[in-house]
Structure 1
Amino acid sequence: MVGGVAAAPVLAQDPALSPPSYPPLPAPSLNFYGSPGLLDMPSAEMQPDGQFSVSYSWFGGQARYNLTFQALPWLSASFRYNGIQNLSTTSFSTYYDRGFDVRARLWREGRYRPEVTMGLQDFAGTGVYAAEYFVATKQFQAPALGFGGATGKLKLSAGLGWGRLGSYGAIGNIGTRSSFTPGSTGGTLSYDQWFRGDFAPFGGIEWQPNARWGFKLEYSSDAYVAETQDADVFVRKSQLNFGAEYQATPRTRLGAYYLYGSEVGVTAQIQLNPFHPVRPMAVPAPLPIVPRSDWAKTEADWSHNWAQSAESSLTLRDQLAQQLEQDGLILESLEIDSTRAEVRFRNPRYRSDALAIGRTARVMSRMLPASVETFRMVPVRSGMGLSATEIRRSDLEMLEHDAHAADALVAVAGIGGAAPLPDAALVSPDLYPAFSTSVSPYSAPAYFDPDQPFRLDLGLDFKASYEPAPGWVLSAALRQRLWGNVKNGRASNSKLPHVRTDQMEYAQYGTTLENLFVSRYWQPDHNLYARATAGLFESMYGGVSAELLWKPVDSPLALGFEANYVVQRDFDQRFSFRDYKTFTGHASAYYELGGGYQMQLDAGRYLAGDYGGTLSLDRVFDNGWRVGGFVTLTDVSAEDFGEGSFDKGFRFDIPLDWMLGKPSRNSFGLTVRPVQRDGGQRVYVPGRLYGQIRDAHRASLIDQRARMWE
């Protein structure tokens, strides 16, 4: 049998991925610092695992922009950007400050035991908001009192704070502590100050009568010395704060408050969780597997004679290509004999390679003759075979309706390396040369200019790509800025070569050539992947680049080496260059820690000629969400580096299919540095290897094994 029974596509929707209804609240409410808490004071609560929260708060001439990520069920990290008006101890009309917080839960709430959390606030900043604390929170059922529903929640919190949170009503002292010093460059850990100086109690109560409303009362231990005693930012008359909050949608919360006996405050919170997409995923349902016992009834149906006909094999290849195309997949080649078939395919549609492999296996089960028992699926990217999943057809037929099908299929499937393209493979015709174009919006932000903390350019990217043969890519992007104010930013004051801090100069031109390069990808040996790229890599640099990656399919460890010779482009971003040129390169180690956590260590020479290393830690979710941070230390001194002392930052990547509910491999991401300086900077080279390859290797496929049946 060469054909199969086609099923009409229907939309499949997983009820578990539907947006949450209002009860219960999606997460603990946040305080003015973007962490779970009351108003200004923290609570011991943790957000749901993986939660990513963005919040804005304002009161008394102070604005705080907060980003918080629940990295582990018991650990969260926050980044905050603050603006304080009329802080007369500084030379700025508005004093801007950046800070990092971290919170760790010491133990969970029990029947009689409260939840207890330890926090470090602004532990690597200038110290304007530096504080440490222990806080306990206990929850109780409470009457709704006319707000709807039978019962609500009552939360009691109490704690001890140091630093800012120990500046009013101190009940004791541990050692000495330095005060806030205006003009400090910050960026270094002030561990010698942690839990030092006066400590004071704080506490409060939060009543949530239903899933939408919350009311708060707290006693604050923050005297706001810098704002009310050393300056006249606002007048503090009381340590009691009051507020009400409203859950406007499952992801947004608004609040209004009366603070310190004199000030009105507001907050707005957006809480996103990778496990709860904005829209449930809706994709065409896969073709059902039709067991051979349903249609191969005679001895002739099981015959191997068809394999002797070259015409039959070509017909099978074309039918497979047509059916895979309906699933958004592209057949690269088919190698087949009477009992075994290998399909190499591209996956431009689905973020999950496990899903693409499962759909390919389904198509093979419906289209191939009954005698073919062994299926081998090889995802291909940039002309390279990434892995090979081998499954017995009889296992597919037996397990489709099994309650534990995902785990059972992994147990009987083999996942290994992809061999070179067999000589006998039937390559799909007319795939090469391939030409594609696209138009997409772009955004280019610039952060933390003291005159204007956030600047932004918006426009369109016009992209074109040409693939003359497998593994070869010629790509170009023309950028047209439509609106923006990055060009009005401040000039660089860096002591190092201006390898990144001339962003303002590059933003002066409206129409630019973003990149123009040619890349070659290939596999020099088993477990080895290689890339060579030449041209204009990005807006600031062009040159030549080579990369080699060792990554066994079943290993959590990968090792890579990259070498680049780059020349700085002229500000107009056409075909001319500036005088600055340098060699830069890194040796890299990648390690999958399990549970979606990935660690990367890079060591080598950076763009400014400095030597050092970068440690990165990311959490990658099965649906494509990625949140992580990085720290770079080089031989550049803190004084020469400038504000921030060393390079560090965080990044996040949100997949478009999570937001749109439609399959897509595209995503929206940002990298945010507290300050952009020239030390510890790398060139951006399109198409680096590890990210392309890891997604189709064993760990990722095992993590997403349930998607093989979607």
Structure 2
Amino acid sequence: MRRRTWHGCCRTALALLAGGASVVHAQEAFTQSDFGGVGLLQTPTARMAEEGEFSFVLSRTTPYTNYNVSMQPLPWLEGSFRYTNVSNRLYGPRSLSGSQTYKDKSIDAKVRLWQESRWLPAVAVGARDVGGTGLFSSEYVVASKRAGPFDFSLGLAWGYMGARGDIANPLDILSDRFSTRPTGGTGTGKFSVNKFLRGRPGFFGGVEYRSPWEWLILKAELDGNDYKHQPQNNNQPERWPVNLGAVFRLNRNVDLTVGYERGNVVTAAINLHSNLATHVDPPKVFDPAPEPLATDASPPDVPPPPRAAPEQVDWHAVAERLHENAGIDVSRIGRRGSELVIHGEQQRFFYTAEGVGRATRIVDRRVDDSIGWLTVASERNGLPIVETSVHRPRFVELLDDRLSLADFRRSVEQDPVTSREEQVLYRAPLKRFTGGTSLGYQQNLGGPDAFVLYQVYGAASGTFNFSRNLWLDGVLAVNLANNYDKFKYDAPSNLPRVRTDLRQYLTRSDVTLPNVQLTGTRRLGQDLYGLAYAGMLESMYGGVGGEVLYRPFGERWAVGADVNWVKQRGFRQDFFLRRYHVITGQATAYFNTGFHDVTVAVSVGRYLAGDWGSTVDVSREFANGARMGAYATITNKSGSAGYGEGSFDKGIYVSIPFDMLLPHSSRSRATLLWQPLIRDGGARLNKRYTLYTLTNDLDGDLFDKNLEKIRE
């Protein structure tokens, strides 16, 4: 049983990959192999894609069809995950999966040891299928060297890629155990380290030729595999071990590859790719234009309002304009001498600098020169987060190109929110109710019932605010279309079924309440935040819980903890509760290493099945807010018969701001999560709100890296 991975995100991700916006290339773009990851056809090279590259490759080499997703989170690290459809083997007994063909899943990784120099080649090491069945497992070392338009590669591989076994294992000198490679799979989801570097290795390599035409790349490859001795006894004819191919670059986001492999098979692949780090956002044609400054010429039909002293300004009208044009839901407006303070929550612009710049323009057109500083005191769900102050005259100089962005930055202050004496000029009435409707999509991949199980649903959401720090919200979902009639398999489990009853939750009712909860927030002290909640907290659990977070202003670290008493919900996702209940929660430490903006989060605590353990999450965030990451959870049930298939919980994810994809600004994200299996061990409560996310505006690095947005 596979996790629901895309929730309304597939369409936006494909739009990104298909070239919905232009991409700036800072270096030569290398092409992907049939297995995903930079390479020739069947084999990898020592080359790496551009930092931030995200690729989807669909390739067909009879009898295998590969669905690959590859990511380049760091300049020297490549990660891939893959589903392989073996078209001439059944998934399992016909009583279980009917005529569905076999699906294999795997995780690959490649690390560059050093870059190419004048005399030395680039060298990389890697492994395929380290987190799957081990069916196609392989380890390798490969070197690449360029000579004009030719890029030569040569490598040595153990396992599937080197199954021809050209030489005795050089590691035999260390131990006889390296002489023989264990046969058979390792079990779905386990790391197959017991096979690493064992058995006779084979050579592989080849050459890539970049033709005078930018749209054409030619490849020739020596394949180290032995197709006459394939896994699952799926032996294939092979005339010679040389593969030939051509890559046609249809545009900067789409590559088409055709090849002739094994001397008897025509192959094809399509690669949709984009760079998340250098992605250029589409024009925001549906955003309102920023207001001109008071000194700028106004359109004839929009005469500038008269500038007045703060006490004489219509602040209700200003608050409405701040909401419409700057995206700020104002709670109050105050004055501290020559400083005007706008308290509110940014609801539209992903980059807070953009909202601050628009707010400064609005104030500049309405308030006289007695105000020299504008401060936006950012709030999130009633929590004061950070104050961003702009020196008004220098902001005018920036927009008039009389001041550089670097010099302007020295006049921008970001400070923690502190209690200070303030003259209240305006206090906004509380908006009691907000709501909306949307379409959603969810799917499960790779199960025995069908490769893709999907649902399209309509959702209505609503929030009733008792105060700015206390609200009741919920979601009502209605099934519109699905193929869950094929969803019949429940995976075995030796633990309490805290997640593996997924089929029941998805198929019992067409109308569900995935979430209905009462939530409260409070600032408990300087840099200390609190969150409490009760209700139907997620689709499978209801209960009560709380969280605290200490996140010092200006620091790269934070610590927090949550504790929850939850009870399992009925399968119809209404207000009925089942008998199973548990106390669960984790203490978590977050640390931004400062190395390529890599953040490590380590959690320790109790999970839904009552098991105790730890989760490590490592992610890379790029300057524009896009993020790539991976996580693993080890508990006292991991690796044991109690956990079952998969050994331990793990996953890879990509989180993309909708702002990168849409023609209007948005603070929402599209998150694509790939989890090989959903099991009961290491399962966490899927909370709707977390304090670390609610306090994201404390990320000063994201503000600084996107300060140019303050002009927009």
Shared fold per TM-score greater than 0.5: yes
Give the superposition deviation at 1:557: 0.9
Counterpart of 2:602 in structure 1 is 601
> Alpha carbons of 1:237 and 1:403: their partners in 2 closer, same or farther (altered >3 Å)?
farther
Cα distance in 2 for residues equivalent to 1:90 and 1:233: 19
Q: Does 1:497 align with 2:499?
A: no
- Secondary structure of 2:467's counterpart equals coil
Q: Does 1:214 align with 2:212?
A: no
- Secondary structure of 2:201's counterpart equals strand
Counterpart of 1:96 in structure 2 is 103
Root-mean-square deviation over aligned CA pairs? 2.8
Cα distance in 2 for residues equivalent to 1:403 and 1:115: 46
Q: Does 1:164 align with 2:163?
A: no
Cα distance in 2 for residues equivalent to 1:104 and 1:433: 52
Counterpart of 2:379 in structure 1 is 380
What is the identity, as a one-letter code, of the residue corresponding to 2:412?
A: A
Q: Which 5+ residue runs of structure 1 have no aligned equivalent? A: 1-16, 142-152, 293-302
- Secondary structure of 2:135's counterpart equals coil
Give the superposition deviation at 1:324: 4.9
Range that drifts further, 72-81 or 244-253: 244-253
What is the identity, as a one-letter code, of the residue corresponding to 1:27?
A: A
The C-alpha deviation readout for 1:651-690, integer Å capped at 9, x for no partner, is 1222222122321112222222111101101111112111
Counterpart of 1:336 in structure 2 is 335
Give the superposition deviation at 1:524: 1.7
Cα distance in 2 for residues equivalent to 1:84 and 1:289: 63
Q: Does 1:126 align with 2:133?
A: yes
Cα distance in 1 for residues equivalent to 2:227 and 2:496: 40
Give the superposition deviation at 1:186: 4.6
- Describe how 1:221-260 pairs up with structure 2 within 5 A: 221-224=224-227, 226-227=229-230, 231-260=233-262
The C-alpha deviation readout for 1:404-458, integer Å capped at 9, x for no partner, is 733323323321111358674244333x133222221212222331342332212
- Describe how 1:146-545 pairs up with structure 2 within 5 A: 153-168=149-164, 170-173=166-169, 174-175=171-172, 176=178, 179=181, 181-182=183-184, 184-191=186-193, 193-209=195-211, 210-224=213-227, 226-227=229-230, 231-274=233-276, 275-277=278-280, 279-282=282-285, 283-290=287-294, 306=309, 312=312, 315-316=314-315, 318-319=317-318, 321-401=320-400, 405-420=404-419, 424-430=423-429, 432-486=430-484, 488-489=486-487, 490-508=489-507, 509-545=509-545
Give the superposition deviation at 1:70: 0.3
8 Å CA contact 1:164–1:224 kept in 2: the answer is no
Cα distance in 1 for residues equivalent to 2:440 and 2:117: 49
Task: Indicate the percent of aligned positions where both proteins have the same amino acid.
Answer: 29
Runs of 4+ residues deviating >6 angstroms: 23-26, 88-93
Cα distance in 2 for residues equivalent to 1:417 and 1:326: 25
- Secondary structure of 1:572's counterpart equals coil
Counterpart of 1:693 in structure 2 is 695
Counterpart of 1:646 in structure 2 is 648
> Alpha carbons of 1:458 and 1:641: their partners in 2 closer, same or farther (altered >3 Å)?
same
- Secondary structure of 2:200's counterpart equals strand
TM-score, normalisation: structure 1: 0.87
Counterpart of 1:702 in structure 2 is 704
- Secondary structure of 2:642's counterpart equals helix
Range that drifts further, 196-205 or 640-649: 196-205
Counterpart of 2:580 in structure 1 is 580
Cα distance in 2 for residues equivalent to 1:37 and 1:447: 26
Counterpart of 1:629 in structure 2 is 630
Cα distance in 2 for residues equivalent to 1:555 and 1:341: 27
8 Å CA contact 1:133–1:162 kept in 2: the answer is yes
What is the identity, as a one-letter code, of the residue corresponding to 1:395?
A: R
Cα distance in 1 for residues equivalent to 2:397 and 2:659: 31
Q: Which 5+ residue runs of structure 2 have no aligned equivalent? A: 1-19, 95-99, 173-177, 297-306
- Secondary structure of 2:440's counterpart equals strand
> Alpha carbons of 1:657 and 1:340: their partners in 2 closer, same or farther (altered >3 Å)?
closer
> Higher relative contact order by CA 8 Å / sep ≥ 6: 1 or 2?
2
> Alpha carbons of 1:463 and 1:551: their partners in 2 closer, same or farther (altered >3 Å)?
same
Cα distance in 2 for residues equivalent to 1:581 and 1:631: 24
> Alpha carbons of 1:438 and 1:596: their partners in 2 closer, same or farther (altered >3 Å)?
farther
Total equivalences in the alignment: 665
Give the superposition deviation at 1:564: 0.8
Cα distance in 1 for residues equivalent to 2:389 and 2:92: 66
> Alpha carbons of 1:104 and 1:404: their partners in 2 closer, same or farther (altered >3 Å)?
farther
Cα distance in 2 for residues equivalent to 1:18 and 1:476: 35
Cα distance in 1 for residues equivalent to 2:289 and 2:366: 17
Cα distance in 2 for residues equivalent to 1:80 and 1:591: 30
> Alpha carbons of 1:177 and 1:434: their partners in 2 closer, same or farther (altered >3 Å)?
farther
Counterpart of 1:136 in structure 2 is 143
Range that drifts further, 476-485 or 192-201: 192-201
8 Å CA contact 2:443–2:452 kept in 1: the answer is yes
What is the identity, as a one-letter code, of the residue corresponding to 1:367?
A: R
- Secondary structure of 2:361's counterpart equals helix
Cα distance in 1 for residues equivalent to 2:645 and 2:517: 35
What is the identity, as a one-letter code, of the residue corresponding to 1:319?
A: V
Give the superposition deviation at 1:648: 0.3
TM-score, normalisation: structure 2: 0.87
Give the superposition deviation at 1:534: 0.9
What is the identity, as a one-letter code, of the residue corresponding to 2:560?
A: G
